[in-house]
């Protein structure tokens, strides 16, 4: 297993023109504001404050990149669906996140994080409709699963799997908690699998001497 605990901050970008050069396959973490994207990255890397978290929705406004060794990069995306955000900020989100997701050649997979207590909101559905044509594997994490009771857990999980299949998305669903670290090991393994698959598929396509 790759060294998640040796994750390194790479860059924060507020404009597409600032994107770091493509390198390792990237796994993008998207989801509504305050759903726990940055907390999930911290849980996966075993670090408290690698990605900044906050009780105030809309904390992450930039795309933040973190390298896990040489063959994997995580991208923490700004959240969507926060009602009190002015229209100009929303337009900026569309440009930045939409532009990144649709054009980044090294995007290997998407992690779409939803609140396990209120999954598949209208905004989440739009995000998945967005993701579908990208053709990348999708992992839906039902976050804050520590807040669910036993019965709610199985119902939520089954409903989420159905919702994903109904949209024709290739992917996985897991209950997740940054607090109890539920599913952390499994999610690490899924991410590494997608990054390795991406590396295996793209490495042999490289033309020697031309770089990437
Ligand atoms: N109980 C519980 N709380 C969580 C969990 N994950 C995150 N939180 C809390 O939810 C709040 C938001 O977490 P963040 O990780 O900052 O959320 P985010 O999705 O990155 O938010 P934005 O950057 O604003 O889009 C914080 O108060 C976290 O402590 C979890 O698994 N369980
Ligand atoms: Mg965040």
List per-residue pLDDT tens for the chain, 212 residues long.
568 988 999 999 999 999 999 999 999 999 998 999 999 999 999 988 888 877 776 667 899 999 998 899 999 998 887 767 778 877 888 889 999 999 999 999 999 999 999 999 998 998 998 888 999 999 999 999 999 999 999 999 999 999 988 888 878 999 999 999 999 999 999 999 999 999 999 876 655 554 44
Sheet holding 138-143, edge to edge: 8-13, 63-67, 73-76, 26-31, 107-115, 138-143, 171-175
Report the atom number in ligand 1 closest to the C-alpha of 59.
Answer: 24
DSSP structure string for 53-99: --SSTT---SEEEEE-TTS-EEEEPPPB--TTS-HHHHHHHIIIIIH
How many angstroms separate the alpha carbon of residue 145 from the centre of ligand 1? Answer: 12
CA–CA separation, 207 vs 212, rounded Å? 8
Check residue 88 and give its pLDDT: 80
CA–CA distance, 42 with 52 (Å, rounded to integer):
9
- Answer whether 32 contacts ligand 1 (Cβ < 6 A): no
Residue 211 pLDDT: 47
Q: Tell me, which fold does domain 4-203 have in CATH?
A: Rossmann fold (3.40.50)
Residue 68 CA, chain-centre distance (Å), reads 14
DSSP letter (8 states) at residue 41? H
Angle at 123 between CA 117 and CA 129, to 5 degrees: 115
Pocket test for ligand 1, best of 29, 31, 39 (most atoms within 8 A of CB): 39
Nearest alpha-carbon partner for 106 in 130, 71, 80, 133: 71
Name the residue at shortest CA distance from atom 1 of ligand 1. Answer: 144
**Model-level pTM?**
0.92
- Determine if ligand 1 sits within 6 Å of the CB of residue 33: yes
What's the CA angle centered on 209, arms 208 and 211, to 5 degrees? 90
Who contacts 196 (Cβ-Cβ below 8 Å, separation ≥6)?
A: 71
Query: What are the residue boundaries of the structural domains of the chain, listed by start?
Result: 4-203
Judge if the beta carbon of residue 64 lies within 6 A of ligand 1.
no
156 lines ligand 1 (CB under 6 A): no
- Ligand nearest 55 Cα, by number? 1
**What is the distance in A from the centroid of ligand 1 to the CA of 49?**
12
Beta strands 73-76; 171-175: pairing state? unpaired
């Amino acid at each position: 297993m790759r060294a998640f605990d040796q994750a390194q901050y790479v860059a924060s970008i507020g404009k597409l023109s600032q994107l770091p050069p493509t390198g390792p396959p990237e796994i993008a973490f998207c989801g509504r504001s305050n759903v726990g994207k940055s907390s999930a990255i911290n849980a996966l890397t075993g670090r408290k404050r690698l990605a900044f978290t906050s009780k105030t929705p809309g904390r992450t406004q930039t795309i933040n990149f973190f390298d896990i060794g040489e063959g994997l990069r995580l991208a923490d995306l700004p959240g969507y669906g926060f009602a009190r955000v002015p229209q100009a900020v929303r337009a900026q989100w569309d440009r930045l996140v939409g532009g990144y997701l649709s054009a980044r050649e090294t995007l290997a997979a998407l992690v779409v994080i939803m609140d396990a207590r209120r999954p598949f909101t209208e905004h989440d559905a739009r995000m998945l409709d967005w993701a579908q044509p990208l053709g990348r594997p999708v992992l839906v994490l039902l976050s804050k699963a520590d807040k669910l009771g036993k019965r709610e857990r199985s119902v939520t999980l089954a409903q989420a799997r159905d919702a994903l299949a109904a949209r024709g998305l290739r992917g996985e669903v897991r209950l997740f908690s940054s607090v109890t670290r539920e599913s952390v090991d499994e999610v690490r393994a899924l991410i590494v699998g997608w990054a390795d698959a991406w590396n295996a598929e793209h490495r042999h396509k490289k033309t020697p001497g031309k770089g990437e």
